[in-house]
């Protein structure tokens, strides 16, 4: 993630406009090549929107990323709300949709307190049934995310645990059917992005019925 790359792609004015219009950013895992440019983009958006009514940008990512962003915010306002990817796993989203005021505690193996490269723990946890993760602090951010998704024409965003560092995620986004200006139904779609992962049962399941599957990396077994 890099503002410089956006400038090459869109030009400076186009890159600024793209940053200004951002509402949500999703980060798969804590490795530097996936988030190093994030703080710069958040700070720039904050500057571009000064004096303009707007909502904080929603950042969805692994919980370790919050520590990095919180430390950065001691020097520069990032104007963001952070949501742990675990709050957007399927079980947690379903629990939120059915009871927005609920409060569910993580099972011990899903607390994310293992080391970043504890592969044995990662695999044992990923194969267990995922329990819903909710707490009171996340509920208003989940409500904001739901609003952002609806405005973008999306039905849902689901984070999927994958096998890389601990924790790491892929993501599923689904768009609803819509009616165009002449009354024709435009079919919805399903996009799946793997993030960095080894071959992973959870991602295979999540990819069923996908319109587009973006698989970032692969490896030989």
| pLDDT tens readout for residues 93-104 | 998 888 765 555
Average pLDDT over residues 31-56: 93
What does the alpha-carbon distance between residue 216 and residue 104 come to, in Å, rounded to a whole number? 32
Task: Confirm whether 37 is domain-assigned.
Answer: yes
pLDDT at 166: 87
Q: How far is CA 193 from CA 1, 3, 27, 148, 201, in A?
A: 15, 21, 11, 19, 14
89 φ/ψ angles, rounded to the nearest 5 degrees: -70, 160
* Average pLDDT taken over every residue of the chain: 83
Task: Confirm whether 148 is domain-assigned.
Answer: yes
CATH code of the domain in which 198 resides: 3.60.15
Task: Confirm whether 141 is domain-assigned.
Answer: yes
More confident residue, 15 or 5: 15
Q: Six-digit token pair at 141? A: 């951010």
Count the domains in the chain. 1
For residue 181, the 8-state DSSP code is: T
156, 174 Cβ separation under 8 angstroms: yes
Task: Confirm whether 221 is domain-assigned.
Answer: no
The pairing of strands 185-186 and 178-179 is antiparallel
Which string of b and e fits 63-72 if b means at least 16 CB within 10 Å?
A: bbbeebbeeb
For residue 200, the 8-state DSSP code is: -
pLDDT at 81: 96
Q: Is residue 121 over pLDDT 50? A: no
Task: Confirm whether 118 is domain-assigned.
Answer: yes
More confident residue, 206 or 114: 206
Q: Is residue 39 over pLDDT 60? A: yes
pLDDT at 125: 43
Task: Confirm whether 220 is domain-assigned.
Answer: no
* Cross-strand partners of 57: 80
Domain span holding position 147: 3-214
Q: Is residue 136 over pLDDT 90? A: no
Task: Confirm whether 81 is domain-assigned.
Answer: yes
pLDDT, tens digit (0-9, with 9 covering 90-100), for 155-175 = 999 999 999 988 999 999 999
Q: Six-digit token pair at 77? A: 């306002």
Task: Confirm whether 9 is domain-assigned.
Answer: yes
Average pLDDT over residues 212-219: 78
pLDDT, tens digit (0-9, with 9 covering 90-100), for 168-206 = 999 999 998 888 889 999 899 999 999 999 889 999 999
Q: Six-digit token pair at 200? A: 């992973």
pLDDT at 57: 97
Nearest residue to 39 via CA among 62, 12, 66, 8:
66
């Amino acid at each position: 993630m890099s503002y410089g790359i956006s400038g090459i792609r869109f030009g400076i004015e186009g890159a600024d406009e793209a940053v200004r219009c951002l509402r949500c950013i999703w980060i798969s895992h804590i490795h530097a090549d996936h988030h190093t440019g994030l703080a710069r983009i958040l700070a720039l958006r904050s500057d571009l929107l000064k004096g303009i009514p707007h909502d904080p940008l929603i950042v969805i990512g692994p919980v370790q990323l919050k520590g990095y962003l919180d430390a950065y915010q001691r020097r520069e306002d990032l104007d963001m709300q952070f949501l742990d990817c675990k709050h957007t796993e399927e079980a947690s989203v379903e629990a939120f949709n059915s009871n927005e005021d609920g409060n569910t505690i993580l099972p011990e193996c899903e607390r994310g307190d293992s080391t970043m490269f504890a592969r044995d723990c990662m695999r044992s946890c990923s194969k267990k049934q995922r329990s819903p993760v909710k707490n009171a602090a996340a509920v208003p951010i989940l409500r904001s995310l739901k609003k952002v998704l609806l405005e973008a024409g999306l039905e849902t965003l689901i984070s999927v645990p994958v096998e890389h560092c601990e924790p790491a995620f892929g993501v599923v986004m689904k768009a609803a059917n819509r009616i165009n200006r002449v009354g024709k139904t435009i079919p919805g779609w399903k996009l799946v992005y793997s993030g960095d992962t080894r071959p992973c049962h959870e991602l295979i399941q999540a990819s069923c019925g996908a319109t587009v599957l973006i698989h970032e990396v692969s490896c030989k077994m």
